Amino acid sequence: MNWSPRREKFRAILSGSRCIHPGSVFDPLSARIAEELGFEAGILAGSMASLAVLGAPDLAVLTLSEFADLAHRIDRAAKLPVMVDADHGYGNALNVMRTVQELETAGVAALSIEDTLLPEPFGGTGKAQFISIEEGAGKMRAALVAWQDPALAIFGRTGAMAVDTADAVKRIKAYADSGVDAIFLVGVTTRAQLETAASAVKIPLVLGGAAHGLVTPDELAKMGFRIQLQSYAPLIAAIRAVYDTLKALKDGTPPDKIPNLASGEMMKRLTRDADYRRWTKEFLGGVSGERG
């Protein structure tokens, strides 16, 4: 497939003057829903991938192949530009290169590499620890060497703002100097931190995690932020809906009395039913029937 057009759309967001909210996606249908609702981009977080693939918390137990496979299934199902959280690149700088190659092949529009020490080491405190700035910058440079499509965007991500603002500023300057396309910040808790980050670098900024309500989207845009994550609510809501539905069925509720089910029309639309029926008629010489 030709992934470049969606990557170019994503780069247009980075080079624009607005700050947008991407839709949180976790499987092919959620990507189609986000696209249908008019989201300009999607975000596949590592934590959501861990839930969707393993049913496990975000403890860096998901493998690169599992993550890339999920990203590819999402990307081939819709034309929505999707940015992904590639965690620490699944290892050192050489692993980062492999991560970029696999995710570029999977069709992502952008990916972030973070400087968190992952997985948590033996004797860890449970609080985020970070690799050295030198190692982090090396990972960013390695990522930029690995890609083939220049339309693919690569972000340098750090959560150091939650620990030490001065250290975080050194990190984002070093990562910007390495040549990444944007800086992805998590762990920001104050307006002052936002302003400090914005004044430290001239490349686009991406905001994740906290900081909702500190400033308006227009204020963020003026600071240079082009993307602000909202939350990962869609998958969390889906888990609640599945739980409630299964519980209702277990408790004896008739299937036709279950509330809030997707309509038949919605299911056909999101699964591209009309396309498959047309292809069946054109290539198989008949009309497809539905199997229960």
Angle at 259 (CA atoms; ends 288, 57), nearest 5 degrees: 90
Give me the pLDDT at residue 1, please.
87
Cβ proximity of 173 and 201 under 8 Å: yes
Neighbours of 21 (CB within 10 A): 15
Give me the pLDDT at residue 158, please.
97
Domains of the chain with CATH codes: 4-232 (3.20.20.60), 237-284 (no CATH)
Q: What pLDDT tens digit does each residue of the chain (292 aa) get?
A: 899 999 999 999 999 999 999 999 999 999 999 999 999 999 999 999 999 999 999 999 999 999 999 999 999 999 999 999 999 999 999 999 999 999 999 999 999 999 999 998 888 777 889 999 999 999 999 999 999 999 999 999 999 999 999 999 999 999 999 999 999 999 999 999 999 999 999 999 999 976 667 888 899 999 999 999 998 999 999 999 999 999 999 999 999 999 999 999 999 999 999 999 999 999 998 766 666 5
Give me the pLDDT at residue 213, please.
73
Name, in order, each residue with C-beta under 8 angstroms of 128's C-beta and a sequence gap of 6 or more. Answer: 116, 117, 159, 162, 163, 187
Pairing, β 42-44 against β 23-24: parallel
Give me the pLDDT at residue 211, please.
61
Neighbours of 258 (CB within 10 A): 13
The span from the CA of 87 to the CA of 68, in Å, is 12
Bridge partner residues of 42 (DSSP):
23, 82
Give me the pLDDT at residue 127, please.
84
CA trace torsion 281, 283, 284, 286 (10° rounding): 10
Among 188, 183, 121, 109, residue whose Cα is nearest residue 153: 109
In this prediction the pTM is: 0.94
**254 preceded by cis ω (within 30°)?**
no
Give me the pLDDT at residue 292, please.
54
Give me the pLDDT at residue 273, please.
97
Bridge partner residues of 225 (DSSP):
205
Give me the pLDDT at residue 231, please.
86
Name, in order, each residue with C-beta under 8 angstroms of 39's C-beta and a sequence gap of 6 or more. Answer: 21, 22, 23, 80
Among 55, 49, 143, residue whose Cα is nearest residue 93: 143
Give me the pLDDT at residue 214, please.
82
Give me the pLDDT at residue 281, please.
94
Counting Cα atoms < 13 Å in the Cβ hemisphere of 191 gives 7
